[in-house]
Amino acid sequence: MSGGWVGSALLRVLQQFMAETAARWVLRGTVESLRLSLDTATAADLPRIVEALEPATRHFVDPSRRPQMMAQLRAQLAPSPSAGLEGTATSASAEVRATTYLVRTEADASHARLAARMLCESLGGRGYECQKVATAVSELARNQISYAGGGTIQLAPQLAPKRLLRVSAEDSGQGIPDLERVLSGTFKSKTGMGLGLLGVKQLADRFDVRTGPKGTQVDFEVWL
């Protein structure tokens, strides 16, 4: 099987749990079902591929070994800096290169939420921590779609000096009115706008928001 580092990395994992022929067949079929190519798939495509591999491999792997296989597949979302793979950074800050997701539809929002959760798990985050990340990303993505016509979600893992996942959500909407009241919990809008933002603030270990007539940027961190 030819292809880039994504296909090679996933194939190495699958071959530990099934025959090589089956691993190649399942991987290629899964990638093509997503309208992707093993030759051009990138780190941004990994969450979708890994999610799709879970049901695709069900009949090929012993149930008792499936949790271990999925854990190893999810680990590919955050390759170590020494691996020399696309999507990594080798600076002394030990910060893995950020990945940005375009959010325009509910499917995009689900993709970003899943990517955030799986990345958190691959970094060693506990269940509650990863749920906080997924919930916050979901709320921000829905707000972007509902009130700004979409935006971007950037996921930036940091390994040292503190292990954390930093999320930055940006849009080009008209801004959030009454921001101070929104964040204090006293603002009630007919549309519900801003209620999700307060929830994100409560979930985050660090939170910042900047808003104006040219758009809104929300940054938050969850420490792992």
The pLDDT score that the predictor gives to residue 9 is 85
The pLDDT score that the predictor gives to residue 81 is 38
The pLDDT score that the predictor gives to residue 165 is 93
Query: 134 with 215, same domain?
Result: yes
Q: Is residue 93 part of a domain?
A: no
The pLDDT score that the predictor gives to residue 180 is 85
Query: 106 with 190, same domain?
Result: yes
Q: Is residue 59 part of a domain?
A: yes
Q: Is residue 91 part of a domain?
A: no
Point out the residues of the chain with pLDDT beneath 50.
1-3, 79-95, 193-194
The pLDDT score that the predictor gives to residue 138 is 92
Query: 69 with 108, same domain?
Result: no
Q: Is residue 85 part of a domain?
A: no
Distance (Å) of CA 223 to CA 57, 110, 185, 216: 33, 22, 24, 23
The pLDDT score that the predictor gives to residue 79 is 47
Print the domain residue range for 128.
Answer: 99-223
The pLDDT score that the predictor gives to residue 188 is 62
Query: 114 with 216, same domain?
Result: yes
The pLDDT score that the predictor gives to residue 41 is 84
The pLDDT score that the predictor gives to residue 135 is 93
Query: 14 with 72, same domain?
Result: yes
pTM for the predicted model, two decimal places: 0.61
Query: 114 with 212, same domain?
Result: yes
Q: Give me the number of domains the chain comprises.
A: 2
Q: Measure the CA–CA gap between 19 and 51, rounded to whole angstroms.
A: 21
Q: Is residue 205 part of a domain?
A: yes
